[in-house]
Amino acid sequence: MFTADEAERLGKQGERVILVRRETTPDDYHGMIAAQGILTSAGGTNSHAAVVARGEGIPAVCGADAIKLSPADGTFSANGISVKEGDVITIDGFTGNVYVGELPLEESVLEKARAGEAQAREEKIWKAFEALMAHADEVRRLRVRANADTPDQAKNARERGAEGIGLCRTEHMFLGEERVGAVRQMIFADTEGEETKAYDALAPLQREDFVGIFRAMDGLPVTVRLLDPPLHEFLPNQVDLAVEVALAESRGEDVEERKAVLQKVDELHEANPMLGLRGVRLGIVKPGLYAMQVRAIFEAAGQLRREGGDPQVEVMIPLVATAPELRQMRDELEPVAAEALGGTELSHLEWGTMVELPRAAVTAGEIAQTAEFFSFGTNDLTQTAFGFSRDDIGKFVGMYEERKLVPANPFVTIDVDGVGRLMRIASEEGRAANPELHVGICGEHGGDPSSVVFCHEIGLDYVSCSPFRVETARLAAGQAAVGAAESASK
């Protein structure tokens, strides 16, 4: 299926769907989670489609640039083969291959065992797996957390051995029919009063989200990242809307409302949204937004604490480039947190940032004076260190690998010499300035075994990865510790 709405419709009828898009945006989320597989022609391993699919455990092939999509005719073609919407295809998320027709599929032995569906042979494999994981846990030094945005993802991560949440992205909390109205009200607000009204509508919904997540991770740390993506992502696509307005106008329909939305979409349009009004910049320009999120976080945490729970909160300010950005945000937000807690004390509370810009990495000593934790956002750090767009890398990364211009896809495995060097500098200078600083990683590399080994080598405290990769990370962390011990004894 070529649209998220169709994928959702058929998925709800029990059909098995592969959603095929050029790329995905948060607007496609409902169709993505209804699909068994996701295929995109643009993007790569760190694009929106890949990150969401990995978090949800949905097989995906992202950035298959041989595929030419013609959604208007309901077809895509690749290598001279044309596939119609509704035809059956099979995808292999490990190799990136796409097959016409239905291939025989085999379920993972471990997943079957986990679901309690194991036969004798699988039971034996499961026991061996558990013994191996117990050994890895015994020897590893790195802690392993998960990137989880919903209570279900948090529960799944915990069952796989996650020791907390290293990244809870709050953007999905701005989606869904009920919320989009309030989000648009906030974007369209002309007066402070209108904006406050929109925040008031969102706050209770956010609070409920946080209650669910803190409850699922009770007793373990949860890093909540304040909103990062640019606001236009919560409005309809500019081109689609312009076409819709033009068509509706030619049919003589009343288009006033849609025109107003289009005007706002045009106003918010950015030439380089990845480098635009997002992350902490959004927090600075729209102060009520982060204040609303922080209030919701701490009202939720306070409530659970008073009920006898142990919510452990870490607030992450994203995309910080300068120490004053973080300082000003903390100055504005800490009083909001204190007021929301109303005197209730939490057992663990930290404020920190995602280090995902080269400037932040090389001025880490200064930023660390204002931060209790750093978490390396190696998706954006790789994007900004190389100047490679994470949403377009699929077009040429294969050639770069073939020609040995890079040792591996840097969005999969940390580029030790460049991005890794920035991480090393930031972690050393950050800790020198603030010896109490906790340092982790929450970019997609946190679940890549050789990147996990690198994180061990530079002395990070934890890695955070998608729930489905938690066991891979635990094993790699154990292997890193054993490898380090072996080389030390040689």
Which CB sits closer to ligand PEP, 303 or 363?
363
Q: Does 442 bind ligand PEP (CB under 6 A)?
A: yes
Q: Does 151 bind ligand PEP (CB under 6 A)?
A: no
Closest distance to Mg ion from the beta carbon of 379 (Å): 5
Q: Does 149 bind Mg ion (CB under 5 A)?
A: no
Q: Which stretch binds ligand PEP (CB under 6 A): 18-26, 138-146, 214-222, 375-383?
A: 375-383
Whether 109 and 125 have beta carbons less than 8 Å apart is answered as yes
Does 168 participate in catalysis according to the annotation? Answer: no
Q: How far apart are CA 114 and CA 123, in angstroms?
A: 10
Closest distance to ligand PEP from the beta carbon of 216 (Å): 20
Does 48 participate in catalysis according to the annotation? Answer: yes
Whether 478 and 470 have beta carbons less than 8 Å apart is answered as no
Q: Which stretch binds ligand PEP (CB under 6 A): 99-107, 293-301, 371-379, 410-418?
A: 371-379
Compute and round to an integer the Cα radius of gyration of the chain.
23
Binding site partner of 167, from Mg ion, ligand PEP, none, Cβ cut-off 5-8 A by kind? ligand PEP
* Residue 486 CB partners (closer than 8 Å, separation 6+): none
Q: Which pair of tokens denotes residue 71?
A: 């959604």
Whether 419 and 385 have beta carbons less than 8 Å apart is answered as yes
Q: Does 47 bind ligand PEP (CB under 6 A)?
A: no
Which CB sits closer to Mg ion, 48 or 207?
48
Closest distance to Mg ion from the beta carbon of 284 (Å): 17
Give the CA count within 13 Å in the CB-facing half-sphere of 222: 34
Which CB sits closer to Mg ion, 377 or 394?
377
Q: Which pair of tokens denotes residue 418?
A: 């460049």
Binding site partner of 442, from Mg ion, ligand PEP, none, Cβ cut-off 5-8 A by kind? ligand PEP
Q: Which pair of tokens denotes residue 297?
A: 């976080």
Answer for which of 163, 356, 429, 448 binds Mg ion (CB under 5 A) is 356
Answer for which of 28, 149, 195, 228 binds ligand PEP (CB under 6 A) is 228
Q: Does 467 bind ligand PEP (CB under 6 A)?
A: no
In three-state form (DSSP H/G/I as H, E/B as E, the rest C), the secondary structure along 162-217 is CCCEEEEECHHHHCCHHHHHHHHHHHHCCCHHHHHHHHHHHHHHHHHHHHHHHHHC
Whether 49 and 93 have beta carbons less than 8 Å apart is answered as no
Q: How far apart are CA 58 and CA 153, in angstroms?
A: 13
Q: Does 56 bind ligand PEP (CB under 6 A)?
A: no
Q: What angle do CA 172, 295, 264 make, to 5 degrees?
A: 50
Q: Does 229 bind Mg ion (CB under 5 A)?
A: no
How many other CB atoms sit within 10 Å of the CB of residue 375? 31
Answer for which of 380, 391, 461, 471 binds ligand PEP (CB under 6 A) is 380
Closest distance to Mg ion from the beta carbon of 318 (Å): 6
Q: Which of 168, 172, 438, 442 is catalytic?
A: 442
Q: Does 377 bind Mg ion (CB under 5 A)?
A: yes
Size of interface with Mg ion, in residues (CB under 5 A): 3
Q: Does 380 bind Mg ion (CB under 5 A)?
A: yes
Answer for which of 169, 232, 330, 474 binds ligand PEP (CB under 6 A) is 169
Q: Does 377 bind ligand PEP (CB under 6 A)?
A: yes
Q: Does 379 bind ligand PEP (CB under 6 A)?
A: yes
Closest distance to Mg ion from the beta carbon of 463 (Å): 16
b/e map 21-38, b = 16+ CB within 10 Å: bebbebbbbbbbbbbebb
Phi, psi values for residue 16, rounded to 5°: -95, 125
Q: Which stretch binds ligand PEP (CB under 6 A): 127-135, 377-385, 415-423, 468-476?
A: 377-385
Q: Does 469 bind ligand PEP (CB under 6 A)?
A: no
Cα 200 off chain centre by:
26
Give the CA count within 13 Å in the CB-facing half-sphere of 30: 13
State the catalytic residues.
Answer: 48, 442
What residues make contact with Mg ion under the rule CB under 5 A? 356, 377, 380
Q: List residues binding ligand PEP (CB under 6 A).
A: 51, 167, 169, 228, 356, 377-380, 442-443
